[in-house]
Amino acid sequence: MAHDSTHDPEALLQDALARVATANDADALRALDREFLQKGGVVASILASIPNLPPEKRKETGQRANQLKVAIEAALLEKKSALEGASLDAERAGGDFDATLPAAREARGSLHPITQVTRELEDLFTSMGYTVLDGPEVELDWYNFEALNIPKDHPARDSQDTFYCDKDGKVVLRTHTSPVQVRAMERIKPPFRAIVPGKVFRQESTDASHEHTFHQMEGLVVGKDVSVGHLIGAMKTLLRGVFGRDIEVRLRPGYFPFVEPGFELDARCPFCKSGCSVCKQSTWIELLPCGMVHPNVLKSGGIDPEEWSGFAFGLGLSRLVMLRTKIDDVRHLLSGDLRFLEQF
Residues that bind ligand PHE (CB under 6 A): 176, 178, 256, 259, 262, 289-291, 312-314
Q: What secondary structure, in 3-state letters, does 122-177 show?
A: HHHHHHCCCEECCCCCEEEHHHHCHHHCCCCCCHHHHHCCCCECCCCCCEEECCCC
- Cα–Cα distances (Å) from 11 to 5, 16, 43, 166, 323, in that order, read 11, 9, 13, 70, 77
Shortest separation between residue 222's beta carbon and ligand PHE, angstroms: 13
* Residues 6 or more apart whose Cβ sits within 8 Å of residue 161: 175, 202, 203, 204
Q: Which residue is nearest to ligand PHE (CB)?
A: 314
Q: What does the alpha-carbon distance between residue 150 and residue 164 come to, in Å, rounded to a whole number?
A: 16
Q: What does the alpha-carbon distance between residue 181 and residue 178 come to, in Å, rounded to a whole number?
A: 5
Among 194, 217, 222, residue whose Cα is nearest residue 299? 222
Whose Cβ is closer to ligand PHE: residue 290's or residue 298's? 290
Whose Cβ is closer to ligand PHE: residue 69's or residue 118's? 118
Shortest separation between residue 170's beta carbon and ligand PHE, angstroms: 20
Shortest separation between residue 225's beta carbon and ligand PHE, angstroms: 19
Give the β-pairing of 192-201 and 213-223.
antiparallel
By residue count, the chain amounts to 344
Whose Cβ is closer to ligand PHE: residue 32's or residue 144's? 144
Shortest separation between residue 312's beta carbon and ligand PHE, angstroms: 4
Shortest separation between residue 278's beta carbon and ligand PHE, angstroms: 21
Phi, psi of 273 (to 5 degrees): -110, -30
Among 170, 143, 145, residue whose Cα is nearest residue 257? 145
Chain center to CA of 54: 62
Shortest separation between residue 109's beta carbon and ligand PHE, angstroms: 30
Shortest separation between residue 120's beta carbon and ligand PHE, angstroms: 20
151: preceding bond cis by omega (within 30 degrees):
no
* Residues 6 or more apart whose Cβ sits within 8 Å of residue 72: 13, 16, 17, 20, 32, 36, 37, 43
Strand, helix or coil for residue 293: strand
Whose Cβ is closer to ligand PHE: residue 151's or residue 244's? 151
Shortest separation between residue 314's beta carbon and ligand PHE, angstroms: 3
Whose Cβ is closer to ligand PHE: residue 256's or residue 308's? 256
Shortest separation between residue 211's beta carbon and ligand PHE, angstroms: 14
